[in-house]
Structure formats: structure tokens, C-alpha cells
Amino acid sequence: MRLNARMDQAGPSQIVNTASEVIIDHGDEQHHADAMGAVIFENEMESGYFGGSTLWSLVIHTSDPNLFQGPSSNIFFLRAIGQVMLQASNFTLSSASANQDSLAPSRRVSIPSAAACVHRSSTAHAENPSDALTSIDEDKIIDSFFTNTGYLFPYIHEGRFRSKLDSLRGYPSRQRPRSWLGLLNIILAIAISADRSNGLDALQRSKKSQVYAQRALFHCKNRMMQGVNIETAHFLLLLGQYLQGTQKPSEAWTVSGLAVKVVLQLGLHTNAISIGLSAVDQEIRKRTWLACVSLDRTMSMTFGRPSSIPGSYVKVPTPLQYPESAPSESATAVTEQKDPSNVSFFAATVKLYNVVFVILDRLYGQNLEFDDPLPSRDVITRIFEIEGSLLDWEQSVPKTLATISANDLTDYLQAQGMTDVAEQRLKLRTILTLRYLSARLLLHRPILLRMLQDMSRSNTITSDNALLEQFGASSISASLVNATDIIELVRTATTSPSAAQRDVLGAWWFTLYYTFNAALTVFACYLICRTSTTNPGALDYITTLDRINAAIQSLEALDRNNQTVDRCRHCLRTLVDATMHMGQNLDQEYLLDQMFYSHDLGFDTGVGFDELFVGSDGSSALNIGI
């Protein structure tokens, strides 16, 4: 039986095994496909523990069993979905799961390298680092950063940065501070990687951004372990964000953890050390700490791992605008001066992620999986309580940043004569809405998981817990509404006639996470409604197909030549195809050969039915992003 097709034979991965090398050469390697159809690189294939639920616990023993993915991750969610589908299709994996060694060779697949990533060592850059600081193109890239990533996460003072950039242009390279040069280059790297409006496709952006990322690592590879100043903290935070978009999930997780250690070492978590500093310096330190907390929350949620920063550590007040009396320290007006709405946006994001932390803590047990599952009544009670917190959050958001619907977004995108400030605020509203809707999906997922787990045991929901069954309908309804809103927002933003001129979504990997997560939620709700005893037929196949096709359409328009996006599209198509055959006693060869060959992508994804749902690596390039 063919478990995987192979396109070609690539050479072994070139990995630079040094403490300072975060970026790895994947130029001609064999990749692995994870349980979401995303790319998993050789250095990620160490083990995959997907959570010790009573339904399914699988450890793939390889070189180093240390990769954990708990119940808030999409890996865990997709496994619950896959188990229901496998059982409904009379397709069992008992022999596969009993003999993981026999499956290991089939997991190796060769795919076109979307990330032909980085030079295999920073040695070449160490010999001749090109940091002329005179490029007009680089000035434009810096402008892009401070209107996108640097505007959404405003912990780097634009005026000071530009002033220092101007002052250092005339200095020889050896006299420029290493930590600042590292910060400059990682800013250039993330700006290029995130900007889909620069005319480059994903592969071109990847190659160009990696040049700057490698320079950044050359300058900061020693200081990364020392954490001597706030520029190092900024560098690590940006490096973690950059790695989210380069299909290096384990490295992103590691770097974000290092960033937490550095900001704690610098005392950014407390106001006590800031006494005596200028108001601007105090605000920069506060914003840096809160950005680190936000990154930690998103990593915890998407990876399904415990938070590194307990909620009790977050005591500093919310961000504020820089004092009007403080000079901008730049010859030109900085972006935040033109419209300080981003400060309110950042403050709202921090407050929202505080609620996300509560969700992870009270409903997911911080992904630790120490305790037995909560009684259903406790889960339901906690969901109701946290719903109140999310409602309070929504009502506290300034009207200029209020959540937006797809219909309203359509009207705004079609409007003529919008000012730059109006377009920027529209972007802030759209991103904040996606974050809010994603948090609501996370809130209701525990109910969906419990119902899926009941189904996987008997192919129908037979739980005698009437409370769970009754509340399940409400949770399914809320999940469907929020997931559909996400999909429609993204489709509107990516396919409207003016989408190319008005990018309102931010970094592509964030949008990909929201859309893929929403599509999985729709699919899970369909599986539950298909056999529900209290709400049968609430979501039919045609409606499900329409919503998932809308997600696929959005991903098609999201980015060009982006392997991660393409694999997610293929995964969603696979789910739709498999659903048509649920309940049929189909031949395994048919499922593998007819359903999982990606003709539209131009190459065989190499993902078999068993591997897509159960037998994959524990790290996921799609477990990143919010």
C-alpha cells in the first residue's frame, strides 16, 4: 500500500549546530509534512507528543523526545477531527500506530523549497558584513516597518531609531554598535518578510529577508546570551516574530523564551528600576515588557505549551502615548505622531491577551495536562464567566477601533478618497477584530473537543452528561458565527478589487493562522452536527463546503509562491474530499491514491491519510501566528 508518493531525492539537511546559529540552511533538504499539511524541517523532527488525552496519545520516538503540543494547539485539534473521520470511514490505524518505525521512512517527503532559507553559516557575513546604511531601498524598508510591524507593536521608538541611523551613516562599520546593527538588520528582515505589497512573492521575500537576518545574527550572536541592553531585548523580540513567518516554529519558541529571560534580567517587568528615567524611557521599557508578554501568550496558545510569564508577573500599567512635550528626536514626523491610534490598539491587544491567558489557565490547564479533565459543569461555568470578560473587553475598546464586520469592511474598501490615517485605522480595526474572534474560538474549543472525543469512541455523541449536550449547541453556534466572521473578513480583505492597494491584514502568517483555525472550527462543528442527537442537521455539508471553500479562496489570494499557504489549502481540500466518503467502507488504497495527490499544486504533497491526521511530527509551522 502506498503511504507516500515521492517527488525526488534530495540530499540531507545542512544544519549548523552552534549555539549562535538560529537560522538553518534548508536549501536542498528533505522536509517533513506535519498534521496540518504544513512544512516541518529536519531539525524539527525530534518527537511529537500531542497531548495525553484519553482519546489519543502518541509519541513518535526519534532522536530526542522533547516536543510537546498540548490541547490549545491546532495539532491537537486536528487530531481529534481526524480520529472522528477515520472511524466514520472505517479506516483504522491500529497497525500504523503500533509500529511507528515502519512509518518513519514514509514520512520523508521532498517538496520544493519555499524557503531556500539562509546561507549555511554566518561566517561569510562575518568576513564582509555589508552594513553601508546608505541604501535608498533600505530607507523604504524601514518606512514599511514603522507603518506595519513597528506600528502594531510600538516598542521601538521610531524617532530615536531614525536619529541614530542618521548619526551612524558616516561612521566606519567597525565603529557602529553591534547590538544596534543587529537590531537594524532584523528590522529590515521582518519588514521584507511581512510586506506583501512590495511586488515580491513569498520565495523572493524569503531570500531577500534572510540576507538581513543573517547579518543580524552575526552582529548579535554573542549578545543574545548576555542581554546587556534593551536593544538586545528588542532584537530578540523581533527575531521571534520574524521566525514565525519562516517556517521555523521550534526556533521561534526558543527565541521567545530567551527574550523573556532577557527582559526579566533587565527588570522591564517592574517600574521600580525605571524611577529616575525620562518619561519616554519609562514608556519604552513598559511597552517592551508588554510586547514580550503578548508574544508569550500567542506562543503558548498556538504551540499548546505552558506560558513562560505567569499572569501575576504582569503588573505594569497599559501603554500610553509619549508625552507631547517629549521631542520626536527625528528630523521628520514619525508615524505615531501622525496618528497615535496604534497606542490604543496595542493597549487593547495587551488586555485581550490577558483574557487569553485566563482561557489557557482555566480551560486548558496551561497546557500542562497534569490534572484529569474538568467536569463538564465546571467547563461550562468558566466559559460563561470568561464570555463576560470578553464582552467587557469589546465594550472597552475605543470607538475608533471597534470591531468590524465583513460588510462594513467592504464598504470602507470601496470608499474613495480615504486618507492615510483612515486607512491605517481600518487596518487596526480589522486586525483587532481577527484577534478578538480568534480568542472566542479558543474559548469554545474545549466543548468541541469533548464532543469530538465522545464521537470518536462510538461514532455518535452518547455522553450521559445532559448539560454538556445542551450547552454544546450554544457553543457550536458561537464557534460557527465567529469562524465564519473570520473567514468572511479575510476573504473580503484579500479578494476585494482594492485589496492590492489597501492591505488591512498585517503579516501574512497571522492571517493564515486565523483563517486555517477558523476553517478547522467549521469542519469540527459539521462533524458534531452530523451525528448530534439534540441539534441534527444544524450545519449541512453544502454550507460547510461553502465556508471552507471561502477559506481556500482567501488563502489562494493571500500570498504567491508560499509553500505554507499552499499546504494549508491542500489540507482543507483534503478534509472536504474525505468528508464525501465518510460512512463508506472504502479501500485504503483508494483513499491514499485518489484523495491525497495534489494535482492543483503541481506536486505530490506526500501526505497520506494516516500521516495527515495521526502519524506526523509534533512541531507545526502553522501552530504560529496570532
Helix (H), strand (E) at residue 343: helix 341-363
Per-residue pLDDT at 554 exceeds 80: yes
How many CB atoms are closer than 10 A to CB 366?
A: 17
Please answer whether residues 38 and 247 qualify as being in contact, where contact means their C-beta atoms are separated by less than 8 angstroms: yes
pLDDT tens digits, one per residue of 460-479: 555 556 777 778 889 999 99
Position 135 scores a pLDDT of 66
**Phi, psi dihedrals of residue 25, rounded to the nearest 5°:** -80, 120
pLDDT tens digits, one per residue of 27-52: 433 333 333 323 232 333 333 322 33
pLDDT tens digits, one per residue of 340-371: 999 999 999 999 999 999 999 999 999 998 87
Cβ-in-10-Å burial (0-12, 13-18, 19+) of 225 comes to: middle
**Phi, psi dihedrals of residue 172, rounded to the nearest 5°:** -60, 155
Position 370 scores a pLDDT of 82
Q: Which of 457-461, 584-588, 616-620 has the highest mean pLDDT?
A: 457-461
Query: 3-state DSSP call for residue 60?
Result: strand
Please answer whether residues 179 and 186 qualify as being in contact, where contact means their C-beta atoms are separated by less than 8 angstroms: no
Per-residue pLDDT at 11 exceeds 70: no
CA 373 to chain centre: 26
* Rg of the chain taking only CA atoms, in angstroms: 24
Sheet architecture: strand order including 39-40: 39-40, 31-33, 108-109
Rounded Cα gap, residues 252 and 270, in angstroms = 25
Rounded Cα gap, residues 45 and 589, in angstroms = 27
User: Sign of dihedral through CA atoms 291, 292, 296, 302?
Assistant: positive
The C-alpha cell at 593 is 491514491
Q: What is the pTM of this model?
A: 0.82
pLDDT tens digits, one per residue of 134-163: 566 888 999 999 999 999 999 999 999 999
The C-alpha cell at 522 is 467549521
Q: Which residues contact 56 (CB under 8 A, 6 or more apart)?
A: 50, 79, 80, 83, 456, 614
Q: Domain extents for the chain?
A: 1-114+581-626, 123-338, 358-560
Q: How confident is the model at residue 576 (pLDDT cuts 50, 70, 90)?
A: confident
Position 460 scores a pLDDT of 57
Cβ-in-10-Å burial (0-12, 13-18, 19+) of 558 comes to: buried
**Which amino acid makes up residue 103?**
L
CA 409 to chain centre: 23
Angle at which helices 158-168 and 178-194 cross, to 10°: 120
DSSP H helices in 397-507:
406-414, 420-458, 466-495
Position 374 scores a pLDDT of 87
Rounded Cα gap, residues 457 and 99, in angstroms = 22
DSSP class of residue 47 equals E
Please answer whether residues 440 and 390 qualify as being in contact, where contact means their C-beta atoms are separated by less than 8 angstroms: yes
Q: Which residues contact 45 (CB under 8 A, 6 or more apart)?
A: 32, 62, 107, 617, 619
pLDDT tens digits, one per residue of 425-452: 999 999 999 999 999 999 999 999 999 9
The C-alpha cell at 602 is 503541481
Rounded Cα gap, residues 563 and 494, in angstroms = 18
Please answer whether residues 608 and 239 qualify as being in contact, where contact means their C-beta atoms are separated by less than 8 angstroms: no
Closest CA to 31 of 4, 65, 59: 4
